[in-house]
Amino acid sequence: MIVTPYHLNLVSGDAAQFLINVFHTIQFTITGVTVGMVYSLIALGFVLIWKSSGVANLALGQLVLLSSWFTYGMLVQAGLPLWLGFPLVILFSLALGWMIERFILRPLIAQPILSLITVTLGVAYFIEGAVSFIWPKSVAALPRLFPQEVVRIGTAVVSQEYLWAAAISLVLFILLSLYFKYNKMGVVMRATADDQLAIQACGIPVTKIFSRSWMFACALAAIGGILMSSIGGITFGLAETG
Protein backbone atom coordinates (compact mmCIF):
# COMPACT_ATOMS: atom_id res chain seq x y z
CA MET A 1 0.00 0.00 0.00
CA ILE A 2 1.32 3.45 -0.93
CA VAL A 3 1.01 6.03 1.80
CA THR A 4 -0.18 9.37 0.44
CA PRO A 5 -0.93 12.73 2.10
CA TYR A 6 -4.60 11.67 1.97
CA HIS A 7 -3.88 8.68 4.19
CA LEU A 8 -1.92 10.87 6.58
CA ASN A 9 -4.97 13.09 7.00
CA LEU A 10 -6.85 10.09 8.38
CA VAL A 11 -4.58 9.79 11.42
CA SER A 12 -4.03 12.17 14.30
CA GLY A 13 -1.83 15.21 13.88
CA ASP A 14 1.07 13.90 15.98
CA ALA A 15 1.06 10.52 14.25
CA ALA A 16 0.90 12.13 10.82
CA GLN A 17 3.82 14.41 11.65
CA PHE A 18 5.78 11.42 12.92
CA LEU A 19 5.20 9.53 9.65
CA ILE A 20 6.18 12.58 7.62
CA ASN A 21 9.41 12.88 9.61
CA VAL A 22 10.13 9.19 9.05
CA PHE A 23 9.65 9.49 5.30
CA HIS A 24 11.77 12.64 5.14
CA THR A 25 14.49 10.82 7.06
CA ILE A 26 14.35 8.01 4.51
CA GLN A 27 14.60 10.53 1.67
CA PHE A 28 17.58 12.36 3.15
CA THR A 29 19.27 9.08 4.05
CA ILE A 30 19.03 7.76 0.50
CA THR A 31 20.36 10.97 -1.04
CA GLY A 32 23.11 11.26 1.57
CA VAL A 33 24.24 7.66 1.14
CA THR A 34 24.28 8.10 -2.64
CA VAL A 35 26.44 11.22 -2.51
CA GLY A 36 28.71 9.49 -0.02
CA MET A 37 29.12 6.49 -2.32
CA VAL A 38 30.10 8.72 -5.24
CA TYR A 39 32.59 10.60 -3.06
CA SER A 40 33.99 7.26 -1.88
CA LEU A 41 34.41 6.17 -5.48
CA ILE A 42 36.46 9.28 -6.20
CA ALA A 43 38.41 8.92 -2.95
CA LEU A 44 39.36 5.38 -3.93
CA GLY A 45 41.50 6.86 -6.69
CA PHE A 46 43.29 9.00 -4.12
CA VAL A 47 43.94 5.93 -1.97
CA LEU A 48 45.28 3.93 -4.93
CA ILE A 49 47.94 6.54 -5.68
CA TRP A 50 48.77 7.13 -2.02
CA LYS A 51 49.16 3.44 -1.21
CA SER A 52 51.18 2.58 -4.31
CA SER A 53 53.55 5.56 -4.42
CA GLY A 54 53.10 7.56 -1.21
CA VAL A 55 52.08 10.62 -3.25
CA ALA A 56 49.05 12.63 -2.14
CA ASN A 57 47.24 13.59 -5.34
CA LEU A 58 46.22 17.20 -4.73
CA ALA A 59 44.77 17.45 -8.25
CA LEU A 60 41.92 15.03 -7.56
CA GLY A 61 39.18 17.66 -7.46
CA GLN A 62 40.46 19.29 -10.64
CA LEU A 63 40.42 15.90 -12.39
CA VAL A 64 36.75 15.57 -11.42
CA LEU A 65 36.12 19.07 -12.77
CA LEU A 66 37.97 18.41 -16.02
CA SER A 67 36.18 15.13 -16.69
CA SER A 68 32.79 16.76 -16.10
CA TRP A 69 33.47 19.59 -18.53
CA PHE A 70 35.02 17.20 -21.04
CA THR A 71 31.83 15.13 -20.88
CA TYR A 72 29.86 18.33 -21.51
CA GLY A 73 32.08 19.03 -24.50
CA MET A 74 31.52 15.56 -25.94
CA LEU A 75 27.78 15.26 -25.35
CA VAL A 76 26.55 18.84 -25.69
CA GLN A 77 29.07 20.80 -27.74
CA ALA A 78 30.12 17.98 -30.07
CA GLY A 79 26.67 16.39 -30.00
CA LEU A 80 27.97 12.84 -29.64
CA PRO A 81 25.55 10.11 -28.53
CA LEU A 82 25.90 8.66 -25.05
CA TRP A 83 27.19 5.31 -26.30
CA LEU A 84 30.13 7.07 -27.98
CA GLY A 85 30.70 10.05 -25.70
CA PHE A 86 31.13 8.13 -22.46
CA PRO A 87 33.77 5.69 -23.74
CA LEU A 88 35.70 8.65 -25.16
CA VAL A 89 35.60 10.37 -21.76
CA ILE A 90 36.90 7.25 -20.03
CA LEU A 91 39.63 6.77 -22.64
CA PHE A 92 40.60 10.42 -22.25
CA SER A 93 40.84 10.05 -18.47
CA LEU A 94 42.95 6.89 -18.76
CA ALA A 95 45.30 8.60 -21.21
CA LEU A 96 45.49 11.68 -18.97
CA GLY A 97 46.43 9.57 -15.95
CA TRP A 98 49.13 7.79 -17.94
CA MET A 99 50.59 11.08 -19.22
CA ILE A 100 50.64 12.71 -15.78
CA GLU A 101 52.55 9.80 -14.31
CA ARG A 102 54.84 9.20 -17.29
CA PHE A 103 55.86 12.73 -18.22
CA ILE A 104 55.40 14.76 -15.03
CA LEU A 105 55.93 12.49 -12.02
CA ARG A 106 58.22 9.73 -13.25
CA PRO A 107 61.15 12.07 -14.03
CA LEU A 108 60.98 13.15 -10.37
CA ILE A 109 60.78 9.65 -8.94
CA ALA A 110 64.09 9.96 -7.06
CA GLN A 111 63.18 13.34 -5.57
CA PRO A 112 61.79 13.90 -2.06
CA ILE A 113 58.15 12.89 -1.76
CA LEU A 114 57.19 16.47 -0.88
CA SER A 115 58.41 17.56 -4.31
CA LEU A 116 56.07 15.08 -5.99
CA ILE A 117 53.13 16.23 -3.89
CA THR A 118 53.91 19.85 -4.77
CA VAL A 119 53.95 18.92 -8.46
CA THR A 120 50.42 17.51 -8.18
CA LEU A 121 49.37 20.89 -6.77
CA GLY A 122 50.86 22.51 -9.87
CA VAL A 123 48.93 20.04 -12.03
CA ALA A 124 45.76 21.04 -10.17
CA TYR A 125 46.26 24.74 -10.90
CA PHE A 126 47.12 24.01 -14.52
CA ILE A 127 43.99 21.90 -15.05
CA GLU A 128 41.75 24.46 -13.39
CA GLY A 129 43.21 27.24 -15.52
CA ALA A 130 42.84 25.19 -18.70
CA VAL A 131 39.21 24.37 -17.89
CA SER A 132 38.46 28.05 -17.21
CA PHE A 133 40.01 28.98 -20.55
CA ILE A 134 38.28 26.29 -22.64
CA TRP A 135 34.90 26.45 -20.89
CA PRO A 136 34.49 29.98 -19.51
CA LYS A 137 30.91 29.25 -18.42
CA SER A 138 30.46 29.10 -14.67
CA VAL A 139 27.59 26.59 -14.79
CA ALA A 140 26.45 23.96 -17.28
CA ALA A 141 24.24 20.89 -17.35
CA LEU A 142 24.65 17.47 -18.90
CA PRO A 143 21.87 15.81 -20.88
CA ARG A 144 19.57 13.63 -18.82
CA LEU A 145 21.43 10.38 -18.29
CA PHE A 146 18.84 8.53 -16.22
CA PRO A 147 15.02 8.31 -16.11
CA GLN A 148 13.41 11.47 -14.75
CA GLU A 149 10.57 9.74 -12.91
CA VAL A 150 10.79 9.93 -9.14
CA VAL A 151 10.36 7.09 -6.68
CA ARG A 152 7.83 7.77 -3.93
CA ILE A 153 8.12 6.18 -0.50
CA GLY A 154 5.15 7.53 1.38
CA THR A 155 5.59 11.29 1.25
CA ALA A 156 9.30 10.95 0.50
CA VAL A 157 10.37 11.68 -3.07
CA VAL A 158 13.67 10.30 -4.35
CA SER A 159 15.03 11.08 -7.80
CA GLN A 160 16.00 8.06 -9.88
CA GLU A 161 19.28 9.84 -10.60
CA TYR A 162 20.35 9.20 -7.01
CA LEU A 163 19.33 5.55 -7.18
CA TRP A 164 21.17 5.00 -10.46
CA ALA A 165 24.28 6.76 -9.14
CA ALA A 166 24.23 4.56 -6.04
CA ALA A 167 23.76 1.41 -8.13
CA ILE A 168 26.61 2.30 -10.50
CA SER A 169 28.93 3.12 -7.59
CA LEU A 170 28.07 -0.17 -5.88
CA VAL A 171 28.72 -2.18 -9.05
CA LEU A 172 32.08 -0.46 -9.54
CA PHE A 173 33.07 -1.16 -5.94
CA ILE A 174 32.27 -4.84 -6.45
CA LEU A 175 34.17 -5.02 -9.75
CA LEU A 176 37.21 -3.30 -8.27
CA SER A 177 37.16 -5.63 -5.27
CA LEU A 178 37.15 -8.63 -7.61
CA TYR A 179 39.92 -7.07 -9.70
CA PHE A 180 42.22 -6.51 -6.73
CA LYS A 181 41.48 -9.96 -5.36
CA TYR A 182 41.67 -12.19 -8.44
CA ASN A 183 43.39 -10.29 -11.28
CA LYS A 184 47.18 -10.70 -11.46
CA MET A 185 47.85 -6.99 -11.89
CA GLY A 186 45.34 -6.19 -9.16
CA VAL A 187 47.13 -8.51 -6.74
CA VAL A 188 50.47 -6.89 -7.65
CA MET A 189 49.00 -3.44 -7.01
CA ARG A 190 47.86 -4.55 -3.57
CA ALA A 191 51.28 -6.03 -2.86
CA THR A 192 52.97 -2.80 -3.94
CA ALA A 193 50.88 -0.92 -1.41
CA ASP A 194 52.14 -3.28 1.31
CA ASP A 195 55.83 -3.50 0.38
CA GLN A 196 57.39 -1.72 -2.61
CA LEU A 197 60.86 -3.11 -1.94
CA ALA A 198 59.61 -6.69 -2.03
CA ILE A 199 57.90 -6.06 -5.36
CA GLN A 200 61.06 -4.55 -6.82
CA ALA A 201 63.07 -7.54 -5.55
CA CYS A 202 60.71 -9.80 -7.50
CA GLY A 203 61.65 -7.97 -10.70
CA ILE A 204 58.27 -6.29 -11.15
CA PRO A 205 58.59 -2.72 -12.52
CA VAL A 206 57.08 -0.49 -9.87
CA THR A 207 56.71 2.34 -12.37
CA LYS A 208 54.16 0.22 -14.21
CA ILE A 209 52.15 -0.04 -11.01
CA PHE A 210 52.38 3.72 -10.47
CA SER A 211 51.14 4.32 -14.00
CA ARG A 212 48.24 1.90 -13.57
CA SER A 213 47.28 3.59 -10.29
CA TRP A 214 47.13 7.02 -11.92
CA MET A 215 45.07 5.67 -14.81
CA PHE A 216 42.61 4.06 -12.41
CA ALA A 217 42.43 7.22 -10.30
CA CYS A 218 41.66 9.43 -13.29
CA ALA A 219 39.03 7.00 -14.58
CA LEU A 220 37.33 6.90 -11.17
CA ALA A 221 37.45 10.70 -11.00
CA ALA A 222 35.81 10.84 -14.43
CA ILE A 223 33.01 8.45 -13.48
CA GLY A 224 32.47 10.23 -10.18
CA GLY A 225 32.42 13.60 -11.93
CA ILE A 226 29.83 12.38 -14.44
CA LEU A 227 27.59 11.01 -11.69
CA MET A 228 27.86 14.18 -9.60
CA SER A 229 27.26 16.41 -12.63
CA SER A 230 24.20 14.42 -13.66
CA ILE A 231 22.69 15.12 -10.24
CA GLY A 232 23.76 18.68 -9.48
CA GLY A 233 25.06 20.09 -12.76
CA ILE A 234 28.58 21.23 -13.60
CA THR A 235 30.10 24.04 -11.57
CA PHE A 236 33.63 25.00 -10.69
CA GLY A 237 32.78 23.92 -7.17
CA LEU A 238 33.53 20.38 -8.34
CA ALA A 239 37.19 21.29 -7.99
CA GLU A 240 36.64 21.24 -4.23
CA THR A 241 35.75 17.55 -4.37
CA GLY A 242 39.34 16.57 -3.66
User: Could you tell me the residue range of the domain that residue 139 belongs to?
Assistant: 5-241
37-77 residue pLDDT tens? 999 999 999 988 988 888 899 999 999 999 999 999 999 99
Number of domains in the chain: 1
Strands 139-140 and 156-159: unpaired
Beta bridge partners of 152: 157
pLDDT of residue 1: 44
**Residue with the larger pLDDT of the pair 197 and 215:** 215
Tell me what pLDDT residue 157 has. 80
Instruction: At 84, give phi and psi (nearest 5°).
Output: -100, -40
Mean pLDDT, all residues of the chain:
87
For residue 87, is pLDDT > 90? yes
Whole-structure pTM value: 0.88
